[in-house]
A and B are shown apart, each in its own frame.
Chain A
């Protein structure tokens, strides 16, 4: 197929957006049919693109001139291909599921229009062959998240949450933009020939050695700042738990297929720049590791079904960052592969978790787990599929999550061993974060499952299994969450390695690493057996602990709720107080008030003072205006005389 045809991948859902928006209310499925058909076509095209480029030697690339030194283009390389297939597939399932889930909502046309645009924007992010187009699509993703989180805009909390999401991610976006601006200035200095597209990934990567390393570190850190915002990394993760104000299907889209993975994708996409800036990689690893740990602690105590899952997403995204950061510093080639492997696996089981949660909420009209319990007997499919998602998330052996999380934790260990010679104990920090987070992940997710599905109902409700349009997507995702990792674990990495080594982009990652001044490991070391078994032990251990406490009720933890640590976690480390109250209300708002006061009284005061002064002078001058014609005539003649004299002088010159 011609390369430009693949531009339809994002354009189809974009077109569906218009159809649903303007024709949705009049169509039989209230606007759902357009995105479903469009995304299905996008999915088919993505699969075709995937098979065309597999095993990754060739890529699909198409570019047109936009304006100035900028172009618009699509690039489908291994990295983009796996993302495309995953996003279109998961998005398709979520759209089908939403037909049932949103069946009672009056704003269906608007809902489907916005989710279609959301998908389109995310696909455009993935397909970009240059960083500016990437940024543009990235911002549109932000817009759609704003619209969808605030979908029920009549609810004040939804309106507030959507604003919070947009503004928080925009902090990251500004950093990303600053990175692009600085990069552009550096590229301009190189004096490349006219007609070179300075912000195309290919051009950027080819000129990494020409950019001073200090600048490269700044640029990559700013890019990472953007990723921190979008991918909910500490400290810009605060928007994500509130993003559940939208419909649950939106949460599933945001958390699994679109939006949050964009940040990880950005780091993966610009990985050659990161590998040449090892300080940035270290920060990626530390921030990612800390986020994985930090978010899982909060996941332990939350009582809202979706909120636990939100913290879980933050934590898992931290793992993906951790993978890029640590593996980038030891094995280079594998970093993007491992990170993306977890990203894809996570997309399946996290979409599944959210859709199961949606199924539960749809059935019970509750989202607080303290009010649930004993649902398994009434919702067997939902319960089973959610259990599968839980074991995948917890990394229980032979599920998808097991393979990818294991690879990440092992990678962090390899980094620790490799770098401990130079950096000492600090090299172990990412690993410790990773392994403790894995333990807590297992506890919180089984806590969630046991609290929801076992025991006896804690409040009165009538639950029923959801319709087939909802349970079929659940079953498909459950199968993938179980087997996808095992089936692809060998080929996935090899395929992804071709991202930076193909007919279009060829970057020698080892050379770039050397340029950045860090040495890679010669090959995989063989960690002791305990390192291999530890993730399994903590995964199963978490299950047992959760079962003892929340299923068998052998341990009573109610006394712990008085613990200050519990209060700290429940209050989410007082982030609201720090961000909203301190930065927004105590810093920016008073500054703005001061500006306003000075505007009205100081600057405008001066103006009013001047005008008053003139009025006073006017009062005096009025006395000159005697109203007598003789006086005016005198002044008139005087003026004329001055003019004549001027002319005369000019004549003499």
Chain B
């Protein structure tokens, strides 16, 4: 019941919010209905048995004739991401507390998005999984197209169509599995684990590879991996801050989640085992380096952060491809960690945009003088993002690099090349935007003196930074869950060693 309740609450919140027609009510409702799921997920965490597999399962028949069931459950792969979403969404609502434009719809859309991602992270039935997967698209589309920047229409459509096409390819692969299972046994089923473990191994090698690549395509567009990433910078640049935060912190994680929930279990029986591992590893390393290089030359701070997301998500792919238990756990932890860190990065960009009217780095300068709170928290998030130890990103990247080295040494050595340029673009942006003499041309577009962080913005950003530091020093509570799931995932697979 926990899971259903958790998903239902934000939906209900969204409906109440829209019906209330008042932003001031909608935001309170949205905050409440996103905070209660946090407590539910923490309760689940408290009751969670690390050693056991899927827990809190619910299994009800729904459309028997098509084999569609209402199946939910949670394990060490899903729970950390559920907690992540439940942390990020309430803080995003707090951050966006003063949104004025159609605020009731704005907060309702965030709630729908929240429900959608929780559904994705807990569904055990492919049909439901797919529906939730698509549900997340709609609120994000509207967030971009209504509250977005000047080129919002292009960005929103691009975001929608691009990821939707990828979803369709994924859907084709799902149907392939579904019909194959139906033909083979005579009873239809969308049960993810059943399809992966029972149906998939019986297919012809060509089919297995095809289905694998189809599903992989769906997930890597979402992550995104280079070269299927170009929707992301556009979407981020145009999206409102809350939209960017949710996009980077939660929606991208659905792609990574797919890797662990679907791709790695499939990998064991895939037709061309080594080829697929290499494909994944290459996608990972290319994303890491390409994202870093592209970030170096961006003029728009937010676009730079968007490319850094691509680079960081490359670590997820690389860690997964190595198939070493701890590298896979590290990849999962990278998802969690990046989800937190990127929030503050995008919030910083949002505050700068809102308070100065621009995000173009060379139009800023010396902001630290006027906005010390922002400078402090932004620097902390930049340090976290460039992988400073004692912050969560370091643990994740260290685990991925250290353990993946045992399976994919060349790839890891290449990934190390990205570390200095990564530090470079972060510090260079910091130097030009925040340090040096204050640029007198920077003015508050709303008039008056340049404002520092508002109290709600400080709360949201500082909370996340504290969490990033906490999980950087004590990753155990989250990593422990992942470790066991990861060990089970790769058990029986030789990887590249």
Contact = CB atoms under 8 A, between A and B. Distances in A.
Interface of A: 66-68, 132, 135-137, 139-140, 143, 146, 150, 153-156, 158-160, 163, 166-167, 170-171, 173-174, 177-178, 180-182, 184-185, 188, 584, 588-589, 591-593, 595-596, 599, 603-604, 607, 611, 650, 653
A163 B431 contact: yes
Contacts of B437: 154, 156
Contacts of B368: 153-154
B436 A181 contact: no
Given A139-B390, A184-B402, 10 more contacts: A67-B479, A136-B390, A139-B389, A163-B428, A167-B427, A181-B402, A592-B293, A599-B290, A603-B229, A607-B158
Contacts of B388: 139-140, 143
A13 to B, nearest CB: 15
A159 B435 contact: yes
B296 interface: yes
Interface in B442-497: 475-476, 479-480, 483
B294 to A, nearest CB: 5
B423 A170 contact: yes
Contact of B230 (A143, A592, A604): A604
**Which are the 5 A-B pairs with shortest beta-carbon distances?**
A159-B435, A136-B389, A592-B296, A595-B293, A153-B435
A589 B296 contact: yes
Interface stretch (B6-14, B350-358, B412-420): B412-420
Nearest to B227: A603
A579 to B, nearest CB: 12
B162 interface: yes
B298 interface: yes
A170 B419 contact: yes
Given A136-B389, A159-B431, A170-B423, A182 B405 contact: yes
| Majority DSSP secondary structure for residues of A touching B | helix
A589 B296 CA distance: 8
A130 B406 CA distance: 20
B419 A592 contact: no
Interface string B263-293: 0000000000000000000000000001001
Contact of B161 (A137, A170, A592, A611): A611
Given A136-B394, A139-B388, A140-B389, A591 B405 contact: no
Given A67-B479, A68-B326, A154 B435 contact: yes
Interface centre among B290, B298, B405, B431 (most CB of A within 10 A): B431
B183 interface: yes
B402 to A, nearest CB: 5
Contacts of B430: 163
14 contacts: A67-B479, A68-B326, A140-B390, A154-B366, A156-B435, A159-B431, A163-B431, A178-B413, A181-B412, A592-B294, A595-B294, A603-B230, A611-B158, A611-B161
Given A154-B369, A588-B296, A650-B183, A174 B416 contact: yes
Nearest to A199: B402
A66 B420 CA distance: 27
Contacts of A611: 158, 161
Nearest to B423: A170
Contacts of A180: 402
Interface of B: 158, 161-162, 182-183, 226-227, 229-231, 290, 293-294, 296-298, 326, 366, 368-369, 383, 388-390, 394, 398-399, 401-402, 405-406, 409, 412-413, 416, 419-421, 423-424, 427-428, 430-431, 434-438, 475-476, 479-480, 483
B145 to A, nearest CB: 17
A166 B162 contact: no
A135 B294 contact: no
Contacts of B435: 150, 153-154, 156, 158-159
A238 to B, nearest CB: 14
A359 B434 CA distance: 31
Given A159-B436, A180-B402, A599-B230, A171 B420 contact: yes
Given A67-B479, A167-B420, A185-B406, A599 B161 contact: no
Contact of B480 (A67, A154, A167): A67
Contact of A178 (B183, B326, B416, B434): B416
Contacts of A137: 389
Contacts of A182: 405
A68 B297 CA distance: 38
B401 A650 contact: no
Contacts of B401: 177, 181
Given A650-B182, A653-B183, A166 B423 contact: yes
Contacts of A188: 406
A591 B389 contact: no
Contacts of A592: 293-294, 296-297, 421
Contacts of A178: 413, 416
Contact of A174 (B390, B419, B427): B419
Nearest to A156: B436
Nearest to B413: A178
Contacts of B183: 650, 653
Contact of B475 (A67, A146, A171, A173): A67
Contact of B483 (A68, A135, A155): A68
A405 B79 CA distance: 60
Contacts of A153: 368, 434-436
Contacts of B427: 146, 163, 166-167
B82 to A, nearest CB: 21
Contacts of A177: 398, 401, 416, 419
A437 to B, nearest CB: 30
B294 A599 contact: yes
B243 to A, nearest CB: 21
Nearest to B479: A67
A136 to B, nearest CB: 4
A170 B420 contact: yes
A181 B230 contact: no
A14 to B, nearest CB: 10
A118 to B, nearest CB: 14
A60 B294 CA distance: 49
Nearest to A153: B435
B405 A596 contact: no
A436 to B, nearest CB: 34
A594 to B, nearest CB: 8
A159 B409 CA distance: 36
Nearest to B303: A596
Contacts of B431: 159-160, 163
B230 A174 contact: no
A159 B366 CA distance: 10
Contacts of A599: 230, 290, 294
A135 B162 CA distance: 42
Nearest to A651: B186
Contacts of B230: 599, 603-604, 607
A611 B231 CA distance: 12
Nearest to A183: B402
Contacts of A604: 230
Contacts of A68: 326, 399, 479, 483
A592 B307 CA distance: 12
Contact of A596 (B298, B421, B423, B479): B298
Contact of A154 (B158, B390, B438): B438
A174 B401 CA distance: 12
A180 B476 CA distance: 21
Contacts of B297: 589, 592-593, 595-596
A67 B476 contact: yes
A490 B421 CA distance: 47
A611 B421 CA distance: 34
A411 to B, nearest CB: 35
Contacts of A159: 431, 435-436
Nearest to B234: A604
Contacts of A66: 476
A180 B394 CA distance: 14
A178 B421 CA distance: 16
A651 B291 CA distance: 52
